[in-house]
Structure 1
Amino acid sequence: MSHVILRLSRRSTILGLSLLPLAGYAQAYPAKPVSVVIPYSAGGTTDIVARLIAQSLAASTGKTFVAENKGGGSTTIATGAVAKAAPDGYTLLANEMTQTIIPWLFPKLSFDPIKDLLPVTVFAEAPYVLVVNSGVPAKNLRELVDLAKAQPGKLNFASGGAGSGPHIAGELLKTVAGVDMTHVPYKGSGPAVADLLGGQVDVLITAAPTVTAQMGSGRMRPLAVAHPRRLSSLPDVPTAAEAGFPDFRIANWFGLAAPKGTPAEVVAYLHAEVQKVLQRADVRDKLLAAGAEPVSMTPAEAARHVNTEARRWGELVRKAQIRLD
C-alpha cells in the first residue's frame, strides 16, 4: 500500500511541477498593454462592440487593453498586421464576419485570414438591418425591390469596404431579389452611415448597432431586419421574410482572435475574462441596447463557427461572381 501511495505522490508532484510555468505565465499576463486592433475606422458596429469589450476587460482585470482602429484594405490591413504579429497575446484582432469573406476576394494575400489567426471567442451577434436615407421613396423592402427593378443600377448601396459584411449583404439582396444596385465602398461603416444620413447614398445594410442610435434622426428609415425574428431593439421593423424574402438572412458576429501560435493558456485566460465581463448586467445591457445579442463560444466553438461562415460566404462569392470594385 505504501508503495502505491509513493507512486501517486510522485505523479502528483510531477503534475504540480508541470503546472508551475503555466500558473506563473497566467499570473504575469498581461504584463504590458494589450492592443485590440479594430479593422475599421471609428463609429461602426465592430468599433462599438470591440471598444465595449476592451474597456470592460480593462475594468475587470485591472490591466490595460487599448482599442486601436486600423481601417482600410477591406480589413486586410488590420487582419494582416495581427496575423503577422508576435504570438504572445499582446496583439489581438476584433474579428467579425469579414474575416471569413476576404479569403475569397483576396486570394493572393501574403497571409491566410483563417489559418493564421486563432479564435479566442465569439461574444456577440447582430442581425443586419436594411436602412435607406429619407429621400428614398420606398416604405418597405418590397417597394425597394420594385424600385430597384424599375431603375436597374440607379440605386446604390454603401458598405464598410469591398468584401465587408455590408458589401456581402448588398450582394446577397441582389441575388435573392434579382435586382441590380451599385456598390459604394467606404473605409468603415461609420463614414458609410454619415453619407447615408447626408443623402449621398441610398441604401445601407449593416449590423443593427451601427444604425440603432440614428433611427430617431429622421434622416434614415429602416425597412427590414435580415433575420428570422424581429429585434427587441427594433420591434416595429419587419423581417425580410415578412416581406417575402426569407433567403435574405445575414447577421454579423463579433469576437477576438490572436496570431496562430499564441500560447493556449493565454487564449484560455482571454476567453475566461471575456466570459466574466459578459456576465455583467451593464455590459449585456449595452450590447442589447445597441442591437447585439451576447453569445458565448469557447475557442473550439469559435473556430468551428469561423470555418462554417467561411464556407457559406465562399459559396455566395462564387455563385454571385462577386468581384472587387
Structure 2
Amino acid sequence: MTRRGFLAAALLAAASPRWAGAADAYPSRPLKFVVNFPPGGAADTMARIFGQKLGETFGQAIIVENHAGAGGAIGMVYAARQPPDGYTFTMGTLGSAITQPLISQMAYDMNKDFMPVSLIATGPAVVVVGAASPYKTLQELVAAARAYPGKLNYGSGGIGTFAHLWGAMLNDAAHVKITHVPYKGGAQALNDVLANRLDLIAVDPPAALPHIRSGNLRALAYTGAQRNAHLANVPTVVEAGYKELVGANCWSIWLPAGVPAPVAARFRQALVTAMDDPVLKQKFSDLGADAMHTTPDGLRQYVAAETAKYGRIIKEQGIKA
C-alpha cells in the first residue's frame, strides 16, 4: 500500500467510529422543535402531538419553540441558522416549505439550507363563514362575489399559506375578486370570521370543528376530493362544481443542512417509529389529517409536485409578499 493510501485508510478508520459513536449516543440531551406558527393553531397542535411521541421514542424531551410570522418564513430562517447537530428540527408547511420561496426572495433556501426528513401529514381544509353570514353554500358566496367585486374578503395565516392560495384559486376558478387579508396566524384570522369582521377562510378542520358544532361557524365546503367523516354533511368543492379547488395543506419535518448522515438516519428512524404509533395516527385523524412517513426523496418529490401546482397560480396572479 502506498503512503497516501495508508493515510487515507487511517483517516477513514478514525472518522467512521467517531460518527458511528455520535449516532449511538444521539440524542444525549433535549431537542428543540421550531414551529413556524403561533400556539393554538393546527400546525402547533400537530407539532406538539408529534413532538411528544418523538420524545418518548428518543427518551428525551422535545422543546417546542414558536417563531411565528411572514407565513412561516420567520421560523424557517431561525431554524436554518441553528447548528447542524441534529438537536434542532423544524416543521415545514405548504407555505413555509413550498410557496414562500416562489413569492419572494427569502433568507433561506429549502434545497441548500435544509435536509429533508419526511412528510408527516396532509390534510384538506374546510371553508367557513360566520354564523351571521347570509351565505349557506359556496355557490351563494360566489354569486355575491360576482355581484359585488372586491366587497367580500377572506383571511389567511399569511401570504403564501394554503388559505391564501386557496382563496386565490377560488378567484381564478370562479372569475371573482374576493380580497385577501393576511394575518400573523390562522387562529387570528379565524377569530375575525367568528366576529363577522371577515367573510370567510379555508381553515384546518380541528380549528373550525368546535365552532361549527356550536353553531358559531357555518361550513360551506371541504377542499378534499371526498367528504370528511367529521364533516359528513359538508359537500366537497367537487360537489360544489369546482374540482380545480381540491387541495390540502401539508406538514413535513426538516433538519438544518449539514447534519451528519448517521445522526440524520437515527432521527428518521425515530420519526418512523413515532408516526407508526396507532394513538398518534388517531390523533392526527381527529385533526382531519392523514398521518404518514416518507423517505427524504419522497418529500422532495412531493415538494416538486406542489411547487408546480401552486407556482402557476402565483405567477398568473402576480402574488408577492
Query: What's the offset of the Cα at 1:56?
Result: 1.2
Q: Does 1:102 pair with 2:100?
A: yes
Higher mean C-alpha deviation, range 109-118 or range 95-104: 109-118
- Over 3 Å counting, the alpha-carbon distance change for 1:213 and 1:118 in structure 2 is farther
Question: Match for residue 11 of structure 1?
Answer: none
Which of these residues, 267, 271, 276, is aligned with residue 268 of structure 2? 271
Question: Match for residue 28 of structure 1?
Answer: 25
Query: What's the offset of the Cα at 1:18?
Result: 7.3
Query: Using the alignment, how far apart are the partners of 1:130 and 1:295 within structure 2?
Result: 24
Query: Using the alignment, how far apart are the partners of 2:20 and 2:111 within structure 1?
Result: 30
Query: Structure 1 unaligned runs (5+)?
Result: 1-14
Corresponding residue SS for 2:233? coil
1:24-173 alignment to 2 at 5 Å? 24-98=21-95, 99-107=97-105, 109-173=106-170
Amino acid paired to 1:26? A
Question: Match for residue 298 of structure 2?
Answer: 301
Corresponding residue SS for 2:227? coil
Question: Match for residue 233 of structure 1?
Answer: 230
Query: Using the alignment, how far apart are the partners of 1:230 and 1:187 within structure 2?
Result: 29
Query: What's the offset of the Cα at 1:115?
Result: 3.3
TM-score (norm: length of structure 2): 0.91
CA contact (8 A) 1:122 1:254 kept: yes
CA contact (8 A) 1:207 1:251 kept: no
Query: Using the alignment, how far apart are the partners of 2:285 and 2:164 within structure 1?
Result: 24
CA contact (8 A) 1:37 1:93 kept: yes
CA contact (8 A) 1:118 1:303 kept: no
CA contact (8 A) 2:33 2:51 kept: yes
Corresponding residue SS for 1:43? coil
- Over 3 Å counting, the alpha-carbon distance change for 1:279 and 1:16 in structure 2 is farther
Aligned residues: 310
Taking only aligned residues, the RMSD between alpha carbons, in angstroms, comes to 1.9
Amino acid paired to 1:181? I
- Over 3 Å counting, the alpha-carbon distance change for 1:179 and 1:203 in structure 2 is same
Amino acid paired to 1:164? T
Q: Percent identity?
A: 33
Query: What's the offset of the Cα at 1:19?
Result: 5.5
Query: Using the alignment, how far apart are the partners of 1:251 and 1:65 within structure 2?
Result: 27
Query: Structure 2 unaligned runs (5+)?
Result: 1-11
CA contact (8 A) 2:71 2:161 kept: yes
- Over 3 Å counting, the alpha-carbon distance change for 1:268 and 1:214 in structure 2 is farther
Corresponding residue SS for 1:213? helix
Which of these residues, 198, 202, 209, is aligned with residue 201 of structure 1? 198
Corresponding residue SS for 1:102? helix
- Over 3 Å counting, the alpha-carbon distance change for 1:212 and 1:25 in structure 2 is farther
Higher mean C-alpha deviation, range 152-161 or range 267-276: 267-276
Query: What's the offset of the Cα at 1:72?
Result: 1.0
